[in-house]
Amino acid sequence: MKKLFCGLMLVGTVLALAGCGATPTAPATPTAAAKAVRASNRIVAEGKVMPVKFANLGMATGGIVAQVLVKEGDRADANQLLVRVASAQQKAAVATAEASLRRAQAARQKLFQGADDNQLIAARADLANAGATLKQAQAAYDRAGGAGNPFAGMLPTSLQLEQAYNSYSAAKARLDTLEKPPRPADIAAADADIAVAQADLDRAKAALTDTELRAPFAGTIATITGQVGEQVASGAPIIRLADFTAWEIQTTDLTEINIVKVQVGDAATLTFDAIPGLELPGKVARIKALGENRQGDIVYTVTVTPDKLDERLRWNMTAKVSIAPKE
């Protein structure tokens, strides 16, 4: 019985010693986000290949796509027309505004043209006739006693004289208008009418221009999402344009611990997962001033410009950036 107890104690001791020698299994932990690491005296981070100049282009005004004048991969010149939406209403508005401006300009021009010979001859003849009629009415009024007749106001000759005088005054005013230059007030009013018409035309032309999408700079059509017949919203990107003649690499995983060691102008070495053996020298061109919170770490965007380019580089390729901070 004593031997059995001793045996059990021995087995227990062996098991206990074996348990003490085993390595405990650590609990699983979430994988942390990729961070820049310090390798010797260099800081290594991941980045993406980006064109130096690119833009997501959308229409200034929404509508039905009427024309798509380019396709993906096309080279576009600066100010080249890329997309047009339906613009019948805008064109009609321009035509109406142009007609209104022409009328306003014609009215102002007429002020300075004066009357032609036929108008002057007719106006002078009307004034002469009105003058003769006034003289006849005045003579008839005088024969009836004129102003000395207390009943003159009740006689037909009094009314005839008044009518003749009014006709003469109107004829004289018409002739004066034809013979005199335009009044400053009339010119000012005509100028104001032209200014209003011109402003209406400018607005109509701007609305028509907004139905066209043009390239803001020369580049390559990277993507197109709008198709003929589709409804597009104002400002919604439908074309991505980029200049592929110049590239830069952007990395966003340099934490605050590493960014303090990096300065603009630091030398960098660039390698690319998709192009084994390619190594390009470069320099830190920009460091974004504002850090962003990414999975608990404050990271900063650093832009590196290669000293030379390779025709195999493509947008969004993965790059490894090795920065040598200045001591």
How would residue 16 be classed by pLDDT, with cut points 50, 70 and 90?
very low
Q: Is 268 part of a structural domain of the chain?
A: yes
| Residue 28, in any domain of the structure | no
Query: 5 or 268, which is more confident?
Result: 268
Question: Are 107 and 47 in a shared domain?
Answer: no
Instruction: Tell me the pLDDT band of 233, cut-offs 50, 70 and 90.
Output: very high
Residue 100 and residue 200 in one domain: yes
Give the chain as a 3 state SS string.
CHHHHHHHHHHHHHHHHHHHHCCCCCCCCCCCCCCCEEECCEEEEEEEEEEEEEEEEECCCCEEEEEECCCCCCEECCCCEEEEECCHHHHHHHHHHHHHHHHHHHHHHHHHHCCCHHHHHHHHHHHHHHHHHHHHHHHHHHHCCHHHCCCHHHCHHHHHHHHHHHHHHHHHHHHHHHHCCCCHHHHHHHHHHHHHHHHHHHHHHHHHHCCEEECCCCEEEEEECCCCCCEECCCCEEEEEEEEEEEEEEEEEEEHHHHCCCCCCCEEEEEECCEEEEEEEEEEEEECCCCEEECCEEEEEEEEEECCCCCCCCCCCEEEEEEECCC
- Are residues 62 and 118 both part of a single domain? no
* 119 shares its domain with 80: no
Looking at the structure, do residues 74 and 131 belong to the same domain, yes or no?
Answer: no
pLDDT digit string, tens, across residues 85-100 = 999 999 999 999 999 9
Nearest alpha carbon to residue 48 among 310, 301, 307: 301
| Domain shared by 98 and 81, yes or no | no
188 and 200 housed in the same domain: yes
User: Any idea what the CATH number is for the domain that residue 266 is in?
Assistant: 2.40.30.170
Is residue 190, in this structure, part of any structural domain at all?
A: yes
Query: What are the Cα distances from residue 146, in Å, to 113, 136, 137, 140, 150?
Result: 44, 13, 11, 9, 9
Domain boundary among 172, 188, 207: 207
Does residue 318 belong to any structural domain of this protein?
A: yes
Q: What is the pLDDT of residues 126-165, one digit of tens each?
A: 999 999 998 998 888 787 777 677 766 677 888 888 899 9
pLDDT band with cut points at 50, 70 and 90 for residue 27: very low
pLDDT of residue 37: 57
Question: Which domain-ending residue is among 154, 187, 207?
Answer: 207
Please determine, for residue 285, whether its predicted confidence score (pLDDT) is greater than 70. yes
Confirm whether 20 is domain-assigned: no
Q: Where among 175, 207, 239 does a domain terminate? A: 207
pLDDT by residue (tens digit) across 294-324?
888 999 999 999 999 999 999 999 999 999 9
188 and 133 in a single domain? The answer is: yes
Number of domains the chain is built from: 2
Q: Is residue 12 part of a domain?
A: no
Angle, helices 88-113 vs 184-209, to 10°: value is: 160
Residue 130's identity, in one-letter code, is A
The reply to whether 309 falls in a domain is yes
Task: Let me know whether 79 and 221 are in one domain.
Answer: yes
Q: Is the pLDDT of residue 193 over 70?
A: yes
Same structural domain, 105 and 55:
no
56 lies in some domain: yes
Q: Within this chain, do residues 136 and 233 fall inside the same structural domain, yes or no?
A: no
**Does the pLDDT at position 33 exceed 80?**
no
Residue 68, domain extent: 37-86+217-324
Q: What is the mean pLDDT of the chain?
A: 85
Task: Specify whether 77 is located in the same domain as 138.
Answer: no
